[in-house]
A = this chain, B = another copy of it.
């Protein structure tokens, strides 16, 4: 499996525009609509987890049904309306209808003074409260004594639905890609990563052969990962050799990653190599049990080899507000992500262990026509350097990732050279 750079920007744009408006939450029709788009052309199945079901230490909550939420002034003017944006109401807000004075209202209004012109995204999945969200600027215009609140929400039994695409490979050892589908409307901190993984899945599905199997999961953050692990955690313990929890990729920044709890798994080593070649190793952080779904994958009982991969974390200015939209998203960031993950998969698939069949002294490269004759002087020198490192370290104990790290030679070049040496009878692949 090799990788070349492809421009996915227009495909990314089309998909983002299609899924952005869906009203995603922990479950419900917005989630189903989104999964339908992400799974298009893919063998996507749904894993369902009903309200009230125990999943590990947790219980699947009810589905939140939003009819409409409004705030009106005494004159009957609607000031806040969930029909304009679902962000205007606290996700999982309890219902409420009635007049409230301004002092009481303030307790139920959420704004973010750091982004005064944007509506914040607020959730209260497990709370018992009602609330509305409003930009700081608009909030400052609320000067009346009384307001009328009408939050028409309800709760009903539903299903957490995990969209899963499993692409079988030559072995059932598998690579996991996970992203979350639950933040309504937002682009970078939400739907960009599922879109990138959906495209990636289609690219991998189109390959005629895959060494490893691939599992893509699209699920609501936290509760979705808990559901998944409750169902197939044991399988993942046995089969998952590398995994990546992906989020926040619609930014014009290099990839940023966090090691798995193990720290030296295949996932860690592959992403480390990718970042070393990109000159961005300083953006590879040690494991910490904070962040997103890696908290579940890397909990001590599962301890899966899952790294978190993003472009930004919660430090970008539009984080969890209505400003995290198509205008601030980097489509190129999403497209590049697909390319970088293709390269990452290529590294993992090609990470073989070789053993030299001519380990005594340097093999005579000339008589085997292995000295490069074409390409610039620089390319020739890189190739010879790569050959010498490869033949020296290929003693049956080092995989190509190890050789790439120790030598500083690019992984893809080593992989190519290894295939050439294998064809010439100098290496065997173990």
Contact = CB atoms under 8 A, between A and B. Distances in A.
Nearest to A394: B300
Contacts of A393: 289, 300
A361 B56 contact: yes
A392 interface: yes
Given A389-B288, A392-B300, A364 B57 contact: yes
B289 A389 contact: yes
B389 A301 contact: no
Given A289-B388, A388-B289, A296 B361 contact: yes
A360 interface: yes
A356 interface: yes
A366 B126 contact: yes
A197 to B, nearest CB: 22
B226 A300 contact: no
Contacts of A226: 361-362
Given A290-B385, A290-B388, A388-B295, A361 B395 contact: no
A229 B358 CA distance: 13
A392 B57 CA distance: 14
A230 to B, nearest CB: 8
A55 B362 CA distance: 11
A230 B358 CA distance: 13
A151 to B, nearest CB: 23
Contacts of A361: 55-58, 225-226, 229-230, 296, 299, 301-302
Interface string A194-222: 00000000000000000000000000001
Contact of A360 (B290, B302, B364, B395): B302
Nearest to A389: B289
Most buried by B among A58, A360, A392: A360
Most buried by B among A289, A364, A385, A394: A289
A181 interface: no
B296 A362 contact: yes
A290 B408 CA distance: 13
A254 interface: no
A289 B360 contact: no
A21 B126 CA distance: 69
B300 A362 contact: no
A168 interface: no
B56 A360 contact: yes
Nearest to A291: B388
Interface string A287-308: 0111000011011111100000
A363 interface: yes
A233 interface: yes
A358 B126 CA distance: 20
A261 interface: yes
Nearest to A396: B300
Contact of A364 (B58, B359, B385): B58
Contacts of A392: 261, 289, 295, 298-300
Interface string A219-245: 000100110011001000000000000
Given A295-B362, A295-B392, A299-B391, 12 more contacts: A57-B360, A58-B364, A126-B366, A225-B361, A226-B361, A288-B389, A289-B389, A290-B388, A296-B361, A299-B360, A300-B394, A300-B395
